[in-house]
Amino acid sequence: MSVKNLFDLTGKVALITGGSRGLGLRMAEALGEMGAKVAITARKADELKEAEAHLKALGIEAMTISNDLSKFELIPNMVDQVIDRFGTIDILVNNAGATWGAPAEDYTADAWNKVMNLNINGLFFLTQEVGRRCMIPRNSGKVVNIASVTGLAGGPVGTTTIAYNTSKGAVVNFTRALASEWGKYNINVNAICPGYFPTKMSARHLEKIGEALIASTPLHRLGAEEDIQGTALFLATEASRHITGQYVVVDGGAGIAC
């Protein structure tokens, strides 16, 4: 197989959660540019409408589904809609996520459950649904989970996002465990651990630590949204067919700085 063909997604179908903006939309662009049909989900219909128009303007065949992944009972219907439109799901990018800032001693049960239900519970139930309906029967599939560098360490001093950090740590080990189970079905399960990107979710936190973070990062910059595209494409294509159960850190080297 030629190198170009290793990265070709012509005829493949990708479902990307949290795909209406930010990193999710950039990953949808990357997969779509390489030939995939793209389904994106998010909660806000207006943002989805804008994202769909943006993708179609790039020549990408796309559909959108307004959905809240923390409402687990709605997941089968969401998968139904993608299958009805495109026939199957070859690639699942679990990108949707939420955070909540509060000191651990003051964290409420509602805040904790909100983050966990979206970041890990909904991720599991969606992956399970796509796996048993689309990937396992066809003995083929790519699952790309978006974790975080905060799932690999405690986070900078002063951060108070314990539920987010915990959930992303769970995503990392979920990736390992599922890769071990689903390897027999020829399904690759990998994760991306982004560092700090200037997204809507991270904006308030970066106001506090952004300058110090840049100064201590070997590449001396924050991640741009486009910096996630190559890694996502690699893990979604045949170029990564002998890689599973791994996570790739995309942080400009911040995690190796002493």
Query: Who's near 146: CB < 8 A, 6+ residues apart?
Result: 23, 93, 94, 95, 97, 171, 191, 192, 194
Q: What SS3 state is found at 63?
A: strand
Query: By the 8 A CB rule, do 13 and 82 touch?
Result: yes
Strands (E), 100-233: 141-146, 187-194
Q: Which amino acid is at 249?
A: V
Catalytic residue among 107, 164, 196, 247: 164
> Could you tell me the two tokens for 180?
């071990």
> Could you tell me the two tokens for 217?
């990062």
Residue 238 DSSP one-character state: G
Q: How many CB atoms lie within 10 A of CB 31?
A: 26
Question: Is 247 tagged catalytic?
Answer: no
> Could you tell me the two tokens for 156?
């900078």
Query: By the 8 A CB rule, do 34 and 9 touch?
Result: yes
Nearest Cα neighbor of 16 from 85, 86, 91 is: 91
Question: How far is residue 194's CA from residue 143's CA, in Å, rounded to a whole number?
Answer: 16
Q: Which amino acid is at 199?
A: T
- Which active-site residues does the annotation give? 164
